[in-house]
């Protein structure tokens, strides 16, 4: 890709990855091995928990599993205790060095906040700042000679070309909820802590105000910040799965049909056939819809290999608790706190009066296929991206990912969520009922 001349030439070497462009003085950071995490989620012991209560995983993989489980065992019994999400805190094993700044593009109002933040991180905090190449090459930044010295110190990357998954210690988002979704898409494995500033339109997932960014960023660098582990969905698109087996998705053969309750007690899918053409980590939702066709979408929904139901309507939404306040909420689903371990299944305009949204446990595997008698194909999108067509014989497998997004809270995980419900969605907002001036005016008062 050719570059046009600009006032101050940006420092970049296209032939090298972002990791090789770092200054040697600042290159002392965590290694590429995920066992040497620079940050971890610390969970405090709850009242009533004793010394024989031991975590199932080490501190280094605490951020890679959600929810965190603690096993309590006796001589002949055992059960699993779910740790209180309110005790999740961010601590730094080493001071953070590399910060990824994500800015909402095509928004000129964010240019000045972006420059302020980069200057603060580079000059005041001595951080190595990573930005997208298209952000660094913005014409407004190129013309600003005062910002030239800072711009030359930025490390750039291109989505899909440069791997920065093991380079970043902290992510700072400037914009709306889309910036957080984009940050999630950049890390298909373990995700660094994310600090999101509300500079967009809605801002449900961005609790911080930019007016106090210096104070807030300094607090995060000091550690002990509250964390919300936002679960993601691991999604696989498998092509030609049914055509290769020569059977319907239930293994009982072409003649076996579902029982009246929609379950196949002994029929399970063949998971070894087909070719995985796409695998993604999704933060909000997977949407299956009828696309440009005027026919009803007709897809089959399986849970752990058992046929649950057929969906006839405009489509189906499979969402995380974080996504429950997005498309799923518009389709009539309940809003679930992001720390609840669950997967939501919400129909889009179902042609049935009794098809209500459901919530299933986070550990199950869902599978969506076209029904054999479907009149048209279906289309699927993942957090609104990578939209593609699903044909007969294809399937979509969905389960909870073991790589959540650690979202830094402004106050705490409960207050921030209800504050977003009230400020962004105006949850339960109505004009207050006036009190009675005289109790005798009430129709329920006895004479």
Q: Which residues are designated catalytic?
A: 177
Are 207 and 173 within 8 A, CB to CB? no
Q: Quick one: which of 396, 399, 338, 350 has its CA closest to 370? A: 396
Measured CA to CA in angstroms, residue 238 lies from 175, 268, 275, 276 at distances of 34, 16, 5, 4
Largest CA distance in the chain: 90
Q: 197: Cβ–Cβ under 8 A, 6 or more apart, which residues?
A: 113, 172, 173, 174, 175, 206, 208, 209, 210, 213
Q: Quick one: which of 192, 237, 221 has its CA closest to 382? A: 237
Are 409 and 206 within 8 A, CB to CB? no
In three state form, how does the secondary structure of 375-402 look?
CCCEEEEECCEEEEEECCCCEEEEEECC
Q: Quick one: which of 300, 379, 315 has its CA closest to 347? A: 315
Q: Using CA atoms, how far apart are residues 378 and 389, in angstroms rounded to an integer?
A: 6
Query: What would you report as the CA-atom Rg of the chain, rounded to the nearest whole angstrom?
Result: 25
CA quadruple 256, 262, 268, 274: dihedral positive or negative? positive
Q: 99: Cβ–Cβ under 8 A, 6 or more apart, which residues?
A: 121, 127, 128, 129, 130, 168, 169, 170, 171, 172
Q: Quick one: which of 305, 301, 318 has its CA closest to 400? A: 318
State the burial class of residue 236 (Cβ atoms within 10 Å of its Cβ: 0-12, 13-18, 19+): middle
Q: Which runs of E-coded beta strand occur in 231-274? A: 233-239
Q: 213: Cβ–Cβ under 8 A, 6 or more apart, which residues?
A: 113, 116, 117, 120, 197
Q: Quick one: which of 340, 343, 359 has its CA closest to 413? A: 340
Q: Report the 10 Å Cβ neighbour count for 184.
A: 25
**Secondary structure of residue 308 in the 3-state scheme:** strand
Tokens standing for 325?
């306040």
């Amino acid at each position: 890709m050719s570059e046009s001349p600009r006032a101050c030439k940006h420092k970049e070497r296209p032939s090298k990855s972002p990791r090789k462009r770092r200054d040697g003085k600042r290159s002392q950071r965590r290694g590429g091995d995920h066992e040497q995490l620079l940050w971890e989620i610390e969970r405090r012991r709850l009242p009533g928990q004793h010394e024989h209560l031991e975590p199932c995983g080490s501190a280094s993989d605490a951020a890679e599993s959600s929810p965190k489980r603690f096993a309590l065992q006796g001589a002949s019994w055992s059960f699993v205790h779910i740790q209180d999400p309110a005790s999740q805190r961010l601590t730094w094993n080493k001071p953070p060095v590399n910060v990824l700044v994500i800015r909402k593009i095509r928004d000129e109002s964010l240019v000045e906040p972006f420059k302020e933040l980069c200057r603060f991180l580079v000059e005041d905090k001595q951080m190595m700042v990573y930005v997208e190449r298209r952000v660094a090459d913005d014409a407004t930044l190129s013309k600003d000679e005062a910002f030239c010295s800072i711009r030359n110190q930025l490390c750039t990357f291109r989505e899909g070309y440069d791997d920065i998954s093991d380079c970043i210690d902290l992510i700072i988002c400037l914009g709306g909820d889309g910036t957080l979704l984009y940050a999630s898409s950049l890390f298909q494995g373990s995700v660094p802590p994310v600090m999101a500033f509300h500079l967009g339109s809605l801002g449900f997932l961005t609790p911080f105000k930019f007016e106090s960014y210096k104070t807030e960023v300094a607090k995060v660098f000091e550690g002990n910040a509250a964390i919300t582990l936002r679960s993601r969905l691991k999604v696989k698109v498998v092509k030609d799965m049914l055509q290769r087996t020569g059977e319907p998705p239930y293994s009982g053969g072409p003649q076996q049909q579902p029982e009246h309750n929609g379950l196949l007690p002994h029929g399970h899918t063949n998971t070894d056939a087909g070719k995985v053409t796409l695998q993604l980590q999704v933060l909000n939702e997977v949407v299956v819809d009828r696309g440009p066709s005027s026919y009803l979408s007709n897809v089959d929904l399986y849970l752990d290999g058992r046929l649950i139901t057929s969906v006839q309507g405009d489509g189906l939404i499979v969402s995380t608790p974080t996504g429950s306040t997005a498309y799923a909420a518009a389709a009539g689903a309940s809003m679930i706190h992001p720390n609840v371990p669950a997967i939501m299944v919400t129909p889009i305009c179902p042609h049935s009066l009794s098809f209500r949204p459901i919530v299933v446990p986070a550990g199950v595997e869902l599978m969506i296929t076209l029904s054999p008698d479907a009149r048209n194909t279906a289309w699927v999108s993942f957090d609104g991206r990578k939209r593609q067509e699903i044909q007969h014989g294809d399937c979509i497998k969905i389960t909870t990912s073991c790589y959540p997004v650690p979202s830094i809270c402004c106050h705490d995980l409960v207050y921030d969520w209800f504050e977003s419900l009230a400020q962004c969605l105006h949850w339960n907002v109505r004009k207050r009922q006036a009190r009675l001036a005289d109790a005798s005016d009430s129709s329920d008062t006895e004479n």
